[in-house]
Structure 1
Amino acid sequence: MTITSPPKPLDSPLRDGIRRRPLTWFFTLAMGLSWLAWTPYILSENGLGIWHYAYPRIGGTTQLLGVLPGAYLGPIASALIVTAATEGRAGLRAWRGRMTKLRVSWRWYLLALVSVPAALTLASAALAERTPVLPPVAVLAAYLPGLILQMVTTGLAEEPGWREFAMPHMQRRYGPLGATLAVGVLWGSWHLPLFLTEWGGGPHVDPVRPLEFLATTLAFNFVMTWVFNRSAESMPLAMLVHVSVNNFLSLAWSDMFPSLGIEDAAHALLLASTTAALIILAATRGRLGLPARPSGKLSS
């Protein structure tokens, strides 16, 4: 008597489609899921005012309840869905390993903690044409806890999708420059509906603001790609670089530059990001830290 193993279940058309076009599915889901979740926030009194409901404020902001759920539902959830569909449990285990890759030289962490505030301080001082004011002790005491909070919120919501999932796939297909440009534009565009809310100064926001934001995101993405590649794709480090910007601007910047307004903060970020991007492009000759592929050799 011959015992035959049961037939393997056939892949569903949906999973098969995701496997054929993982990047298309990731970007579509990342945009669609976030935008769908942000729709009530956009329609609320914190946005267009069509829905007569105001989101509660936590810590002086509505972003935790209005923005964060959609952020979590977009990039990170999409990366997990596509990884599970294309690589299964083994892919998810590898994904978790990259997400917890903390073994990077301490110099990189120092660079992330110091260079980001330093670059923004220099750019802001140039705009203000004056030296910065030392922030209060309370701000300095809150800086590290704020950084940790930003890692759990902004960093964890965005970077596992745009950086950990999208960049390796895109770089293999388009190279570091093409991938950085494409992901930078898509990453920036993902935020655009939020400019209809108080997050982006909406609902009646000057069109220049989202355009400046797109330019800043694109420039800053060159910095993120370089850090990601040079650190052997360390996600904690990439997250730290990203949230260092948010943390410095939200906690320390206004106390250090009381004569500048919120629009000046956006100008300073664009100036610092563009300058850093140009330096990195020139120093790496466009490789952005991606190791060169070894030349192929014929085997005997």
Structure 2
Amino acid sequence: MPTGYLGLPDVLLNLFHTLQHLMPETIRSNVRRFPTATFFILTFLFSWGYLGLTFGLIGTGASGPVQVPFAWGPLFGGLLTVWLLGESVSGWLGQVGRWRAGLRWYLLGIGILVVGKEMPNLVAWLLGADVLLVAGTEVPIVGYLVSMGITLFVAGALEEFGWRGFAQVRLQKQYGAVAASLFVGGMWALWHLPFLLLGVGGFDSFYVYVPEVMAFSVLLGWLYNATKGALPVVMITHAAHNRPDLLGVSGQMPPLAQSVPWDGVFYVLVMAVVIWQVGARTLSGDGRLPEIPGKAPASASQAPAE
């Protein structure tokens, strides 16, 4: 059977195109006027709808694997919005192939996330606590690889198609990179609100989580822009955060190490240094923003109407 882009049968592609042309012009016009708003609405509808259905049928004790499709919301939100816009779906998905960004960016992203996640343990060590390396002893190395692999290929890292690869890359054309990153970070935190309200998923309190994820969003926005839209760098950095701790405290955790969200403090400080070094407008270091993936170059420079 003949196939088109992404390996889809031509008959299915023709169906997609037919449905696209049958879409009422008022809907298509509103999507063109408000592309990022459309993306956020579709993302929230997919993820919150799935979560409501899952928790309604199984309860809030549903296991982690059952909750994984929640993370697909930004991917599907971006995919549907690109399709509704009539832009290149293959071009948008193709940004995952921009992996030749240089090894230093992968190491830098992973390094920041490793240090950030271990900050409570490092502070405990500075305060005199006995800190042990649990990687390879209490937690087998394969456990870290499996955890990162699941995040990278089927869970949280897929969010980056939407957060960075759709929303930020469009919003920053008009509002600047830092403002766009902070806004995306706020929406990212709001997207997790059901978990925060129900106390599931192991998230910090709302007041701790929101500043942390917004600072994290700026750092990921910087990696995306500085590598000219190399989505794999951002995805692997995201995956580096979703893993067990490398270190552990033997005995009592010092109160100061436990009462302060040191990982969030670290991300905010790194964010401030990055903005100071590369500038808030582009977060790229060379004053340029990456082009919108999947959009025709002739119109990519046009600012969205939002």
Write out aligned runs for 1:41-120 (5 A).
41-43=54-56, 46-47=59-60, 54-55=61-62, 62-65=63-66, 67-72=67-72, 74-88=73-87, 91-120=88-117
Asked if structure 2 preserves the Cα contact closer than 8 Å seen for 1:133 and 1:257, the reply is: yes
Paired amino acid for 2:37: T
Higher RCO by CA contacts (8 Å cutoff, separation 6 or greater): 2
Distance (whole Å) between structure 2 residues aligned to residue 141 and residue 265 of structure 1: 31
Q: For 1:98 and 1:266, how far apart are their aligned partners in 2?
A: 38
Q: Aligned letter for 2:223?
A: V
Give 1:136 shift: 4.2
Deviations 1:134-166 (A, max 9, x none): 124253343233222210133443111111001
Counterpart residue number, 2:216: 220
**Are 1:273 and 2:267 counterparts?**
yes
Select which of 252, 258, 264 maps to 2:245.
252
Would the alpha carbon gap of residues 181 and 136 (structure 1) be closer, same or farther in structure 2, given more than 3 Å must change?
A: closer
* Contact 2:120-2:258 within 8 A present in 1 as well: no
Q: Is the 8 A contact 2:116 2:264 kept in 1?
A: no
Corresponding residue of 1:283: 277
Task: Report the residue type matching 2:86 in the other structure.
Answer: E
Pair 1:142-2:143 in alignment: yes
In 2, Cα distance between equivalents of 1:94 and 1:290: 25
Residue 225 of structure 2 contacts residue 284 of structure 2 at CA under 8 Å; is this kept in 1? Answer: yes
In structure 2, C-alpha distance between the alignment counterparts of 1:10 and 1:68, rounded to whole Å:
33
Distance 1:171 1:126, change over 3 A: same
Please tell me whether the aligned partners of residues 43 and 77 of structure 2 are also in contact (alpha carbons under 8 angstroms): yes
| Compared CA separation, residues 118 and 43, structure 1 to 2 (3 A) | same
The alpha-carbon deviation at position 126 of structure 1 amounts to 1.5
The answer to whether the 8 A contact 1:176-1:290 is kept is: no
Query: Given that residues 230 and 289 in structure 1 are in contact (C-alpha distance below 8 angstroms), is that contact kept between their aligned partners in structure 2?
Result: yes
Q: How does 1:205-244 map to 2 (within 5 A)?
A: 209-244=205-240
Sequence identity percentage: 23
Structure 1, unaligned runs of 5 or more = 1-7, 48-53, 56-61, 203-207, 295-300
For structure 2, the residue ranges without an aligned partner over 5 or more in a row are 1-19, 290-306
Q: Which residue of 2 aligns with 1:183?
A: 184
- Identify if the C-alpha distance between structure 1 residues 186 and 152 changes in structure 2 by more than 3 Å, giving closer, same or farther: same
TM-score norm. by structure 2 comes to 0.75
- Aligned residue pairs, count: 261
**Range moving further from structure 2, 106-115 or 36-45:** 36-45
Q: Take 1:264 and 1:87, find their aligned partners in 2: how far apart are those partners? A: 50
Q: Distance in 2 between matches of 1:25 and 1:114?
A: 34
